[in-house]
Amino acid sequence: MKRHTPFAPIPPLGGSNDNLTLDDLPPPDTKRWVTNRKAMVVNAVRSGLISLEEACRRYSLSIEEFVSWQTLLDQHGVAALRVTRLNQFRRSR
């Protein structure tokens, strides 16, 4: 079986965090959360573009869900944000 290794966090799509704007963020009605969209929202909160509360309200996220994205991103990289990988990375804690 091929073993996947986690990747380091990457800047969000659209460039570095310094250039990230509200227009670059996923739309509020996003239903399909791919890894780069999750990473983009985490990076927007970290850079101060939007607050944690605003991100949770905008995307109908619980604080626990956002924190889980942030933790997985920090510990295992963007690859850990894939739903199909979630249990694999949670078990390794």
Q: What is the pLDDT of residues 10-20, one digit of tens each?
A: 444 444 445 78
- pLDDT at site 66: 96
- Whether residue 73 contacts residue 7, with contact meaning beta carbons closer than 8 Å, is answered with no
Per the domain annotation, does 57 fall within a domain?
yes
Per the domain annotation, does 71 fall within a domain?
yes
- pLDDT at site 9: 44
Distance from the first to the final alpha carbon of the chain: 21
- pLDDT at site 85: 56
Per the domain annotation, does 13 fall within a domain?
no
- Whether residue 4 contacts residue 79, with contact meaning beta carbons closer than 8 Å, is answered with yes
The CA-based angle 61-80-49, given to 5 degrees, is 45
- pLDDT at site 19: 78
Residue 52 is part of a domain; what is its CATH number? 1.10.10.10
Give the domain extent around 66: 35-91
Per the domain annotation, does 9 fall within a domain?
no
Total domains present in the chain: 1
- pLDDT at site 63: 96
pTM of the model: 0.72
Tokens matching residue 54: 């605003």
Per the domain annotation, does 74 fall within a domain?
yes
